Structure 1
Amino acid sequence: MKTGLSLIALALAAAAPSILHAQNAPAADKAKAEKPADYEPQIRTTKLSGTFGGQRINYAATIGETILKSKDGTPEAAIVTTSYVKEPRDPARPVTFLFNGGPGSGTVWLMMGAFGPKRVAIPGDARDDGAPPYPIVDNPDALLDVTDVVFIDPPGTGFSHLIGKANPEDYYGVTQDAKAVAQVIRLWLNNNGRWNSPKYLGGESYGTTRSAAVANQLMNETYNDVALNGIILISTVLDFAAGADTPGNELSPITNLPSMAVTALYHGKATGASPEAFAEEARQWAIGPYATALLKGQKLQGEERAAIRRDLARFTGLSETYLESADLRVTPSRFYKELLRDRGLTVGRLDSRYTGKDYDSAGEEPDNDPSFYGIDAGYTAAINSWSRDTLGFKTDREYQSIGSIGGQWDWRLGGRDTNAYLNVAPYIGQALRENSGLKVLVAQGYYDFATPFFAAEYALSRTGIPQDRIRYTYYDAGHMMYIRDEDRHKLSADIRAFIRAR
């Protein structure tokens, strides 16, 4: 499965945080695989202060391991959470649980790029992050003025890991992972006396898939007793059929078309009044004339076919000759290579504002994603510096910013037929129908091909999903819209308003 990842980097700058006090629990540097019963979780708390949303806030930053156990009490997984809690503590204050995607991605991207008290400062104008040192700076866009925040690294991501002879099949899957994260949330509520706090759940990329699945576990399946006030979906992927670039699937060309249009406009290959206006024009054409044409298959002939080909060229910036050779169905990977072939450049998948230069210009697909390799080093440096040097987490483990567990992932929902495509949007629908106080915020970047904005809209417009409590916001960047300063400010303001409006 090709799902969106989430990335961004951080490295320690000259200005260290104002550390008022540090209180450390016993450390466990390595998983004691031979004796899991002896595994002692590491928990470290550092008292800090900062200015967020214009307010000076004292807060406790706690990085620690939550131990998940088997039915016989044997430790199976150490799940690392990093929580930022305003002091003095208020049990009625909102708390927001956040994670990234992959599956296999740590929370480095959201924590060090968007909502943590510090962020890595890398270029936001589609330039690469260069070489270290990378500045780690104060982040006034962090959400601590309106909510406490808990970043969760699910099993196999970040510093989180399985213990002893724990079976990966019990943790690496849509439902298994959701159960583990839901358990971590309940334990955090227990340990911190926060059961009556307003609760928000949010994720980025596959983290939105996880958000739907975790909400289902908390409110409908395993526990049934944790009501949520809001779900925050950043770069959303819920219905995986929309992104399945397989022969015969006509949905993918339709949901990708508006992303191609705004990308062509950005790079001067199309003409439109604005990204917003051109995106809307592309939406209407994609779901109308284009969808009708694709469903006709080989019966689409003559002038009708020629008219569709002309419009498709206008929206995508590709030649009619190329579009005819592709049978009017251009996969995203081909689009990345073809759009700027005449300039010897490719465009990015995670953020199509980025351009890269391949070994040569003759290939069918890009060598790599320039919007990924352009930012990953900074984020990895940042999370290691912040977690180890500032928060004092002691471990010999490597931080898994983008791990390999996706290859082991069980994509079935509750043991359903593996031939059925994955769609967790109905979980959102059930949650909204059964909780009148629940709202959903959907944040999408225009230049994101990993989780296209029109695919997110399509997934959440299906039958059984109440529309009156879903809000959409859009940004002039890609998958990690927060790397662009203007969009990080906007995203933060949009989430603040969402939480305050409960």
Structure 2
Amino acid sequence: MKGFRLALLGSAMAMAIAIPAQGEAKDTPPPAKHDEAHADGPPSLFKPHSVTSNGTVTVGGQRIDYRAEAGTIVVHPKGWDDSDWRSKSPKDLADKSNASPEASMFYVAYFKNGAPSPDRPITFLYNGGPGSSTVWLHMGAFGPRRVVTKDDSHTPAAPYSVVNNSDSLLDASDLVFIDAPGTGFSRIAGKDKEKAFYGIDADAHAFSEFVKAFLTKYNRWNSPKYLFGESYGTPRSAVLINDLTTDDDIDFNGVILLSQILDFHLFAGLQAGNPGAVEGYVVQVPTYAATAWYHNLVPGGRPAELEPFLKQAEQFATTEYAAALAQGSEIDPATKQAVAKKLAYFSGLPVDYILKADLRVDGPEYSKELQQARGLTTGRLDTRFSGPDMDPLSKDAEYDPQSAALSSAYVSAFNQYTRNSLHYGEHQAYKPSINVFQYWDWKHDAPGVPSIPAMGSSVMPDLATAMKYDPQLKVMVNGGYYDLATPFYQGWYEMHHLPIPDSLRGNIEYHYYQSGHMVYAHAESLKKLHDNVVAFIRKTDNLNN
């Protein structure tokens, strides 16, 4: 889990793996139905392929029978013309030398049986990275089966327990879990393949092509449609919804953002590369406060309730702290001392450490320092987690305890599930994450904004443009209080600086949870997330209007 999970980061279950759900008999899967692509068509490095299976999940006490389709859709980079292949001879069609780049994108789709497709919402889900597969959302959040992990500590090794997911979104929507090009079972090939698919705009284009091809393949053009992105999946959603809405004339009912980052200037851990930009330090303070509260490290004793304490932290961060940082070297020493003392109160860090850091502490430094006296590194994806220090003398955290605690369970369970229940992936390696950073193009052509030739792009204009182009588009923001990778207050801050008219601000709703980056890794938060997303879909699907 790399990228915004920084080697820390960031499911669809038809039957139990390892240990069946309590009270359930182990299912016997029906024979799989394989669908091979026709031979005629464009010259291709890949052939679309799908496998059909069936399953059952119980959500809210109601049994849902579903059909699962695990397969691939082939997409091409921007500028590819599907008429080119028609002029080629049969001999050319078999020639794979020096082929144009293309991606075979893996997906698992779940369709509720007995529900007419035109009247059934459909949600496209993906994780982020960039470079992450969607095993995390698939296996931990909304698929029919869910892997059971420890709440805030390391999950023991196999066998892992995979159970009926009573919080699957199949009660409200059909689901399509998509692996980004090169991740999971998705593959890329052809000349300059990395350049063709690894970048803000290239990635969004690939997903746009996938969505259109999927709507055609399964005849879902007239269904209520939603995007659900987590972590880097949120900037992908911002670019993607603008592309689909303004370029392809496809309006979506809603965009659901989980663990949001739309402005990379605010990314926790990169502020040192742009010392004059102080907002990145500001938006982290409420997460520092939540973390100190959780670990009982608030000086003078932990306040009784978390949310009021966070409101105090937000007020301090956006007023006194932001003003102090904005003064730079002109700050008065007495003011600096007073601000350092207040930051120590909210963060749990020593005043001397904060002063040595010139009031500027980034995410990796915080993860390293907060519990160093205890010999522990604090989690980054979820600060409720802690793990032994790798190097007590280092400045930054060397790893993420939550990623270390959960990854094996997710990856192991999904590998068994996809092969045994979905009947997909024989003789193939599933890649939970890949390193795309050496290739990733961070330049971005935001609507009406010149490209920025360095990491630090913002996709806020994309989401704003889509919302203005389609003033009916609704947006749902979700975040975890203990997320230090994409701090929850950053999402709030970004959306309240979105360049949209006041008349559209009511199209955005906000939900926060006592969990981390992977909100669904906390069972109580998963339940709340499910209920909130279901409510969002049902009030925006236009089926009862």
How does the TM-score come out when normalised to structure 1? 0.93
Deviation at 1:6, TM superposition (A): 4.4
How far, CA to CA, are the matches of 2:167 and 2:195 in structure 1?
Answer: 38
Q: Structure 1 residues 128, 296: closer, same or farther in 2, change over 3 A?
A: same
Amino acid across the alignment from 2:431: Q
**Residue from 229, 242, 251 that aligns with 1:216:** 242
Q: Alignment identity in percent?
A: 39
Q: Which has the higher contact order (CA 8 A, sep 6+)?
A: 1
- 2:13 is aligned with 1:3: no
How far, CA to CA, are the matches of 1:2 and 1:376 in structure 2?
Answer: 15
How far, CA to CA, are the matches of 1:324 and 1:238 in structure 2?
Answer: 30
How far, CA to CA, are the matches of 1:406 and 1:181 in structure 2?
Answer: 19
Other structure's SS at 1:62 match: strand
- 2:272 is aligned with 1:249: no
Deviation at 1:20, TM superposition (A): 4.9
Q: 1:346·1:366 contact (CA, 8 Å) conserved in 2?
A: yes
Q: How do residues 215-294 of structure 1 correspond to structure 2 at under 5 angstroms? A: 215-221=241-247, 223=248, 225-243=249-267, 244-246=270-272, 247-270=275-298, 271-294=302-325
How far, CA to CA, are the matches of 1:58 and 1:20 in structure 2?
Answer: 13
Q: 1:93·1:197 contact (CA, 8 Å) conserved in 2?
A: yes
Other structure's SS at 1:405 match: coil
For structure 2, the 5+ residue unaligned runs are: 21-25, 86-99, 541-545
**Residue from 53, 65, 75 that aligns with 1:68:** 75
**Residue from 517, 521, 531 that aligns with 1:493:** 531
Q: 2:259·2:478 contact (CA, 8 Å) conserved in 1?
A: yes
* Cα deviation digits, residues 156-183 of structure 1 (max 9, x gap): 1111011344622111111111111111
How far, CA to CA, are the matches of 2:337 and 2:54 in structure 1?
Answer: 66
Q: Structure 1 residues 260, 353: closer, same or farther in 2, change over 3 A?
A: same
Moved more, 240-249 or 11-20: 11-20
Amino acid across the alignment from 2:130: P
How far, CA to CA, are the matches of 1:220 and 1:39 in structure 2?
Answer: 30
- 2:305 is aligned with 1:298: no
How far, CA to CA, are the matches of 2:321 and 2:12 in structure 1?
Answer: 40
Amino acid across the alignment from 1:381: S
How does the TM-score come out when normalised to structure 2? 0.86
Amino acid across the alignment from 1:13: A
Amino acid across the alignment from 1:409: W
- 2:235 is aligned with 1:204: no
Amino acid across the alignment from 1:3: F
Q: 2:172·2:534 contact (CA, 8 Å) conserved in 1?
A: yes
Match of 2:380 in 1: 349
**Residue from 401, 408, 414 that aligns with 1:383:** 414
Q: 1:439·1:469 contact (CA, 8 Å) conserved in 2?
A: yes
Q: 1:9·1:120 contact (CA, 8 Å) conserved in 2?
A: no
Match of 2:64 in 1: 57
CA RMSD of aligned residues (A): 2.2
Amino acid across the alignment from 1:323: I
**Residue from 31, 34, 47 that aligns with 1:24:** 34
Q: How do residues 305-454 of structure 1 correspond to structure 2 at under 5 angstroms? A: 305-414=336-445, 416-419=451-454, 421-454=456-489
Q: 2:155·2:406 contact (CA, 8 Å) conserved in 1?
A: yes
Deviation at 1:113, TM superposition (A): 0.3
Match of 1:119 in 2: 146
Match of 2:95 in 1: none
Q: 1:9·1:382 contact (CA, 8 Å) conserved in 2?
A: no
Q: Structure 1 residues 458, 370: closer, same or farther in 2, change over 3 A?
A: same
**Residue from 45, 52, 61 that aligns with 1:45:** 52
Deviation at 1:75, TM superposition (A): 7.3
Q: 1:44·1:62 contact (CA, 8 Å) conserved in 2?
A: yes
How far, CA to CA, are the matches of 2:156 and 2:370 in structure 1?
Answer: 26
Match of 1:13 in 2: 18
Match of 2:169 in 1: 143
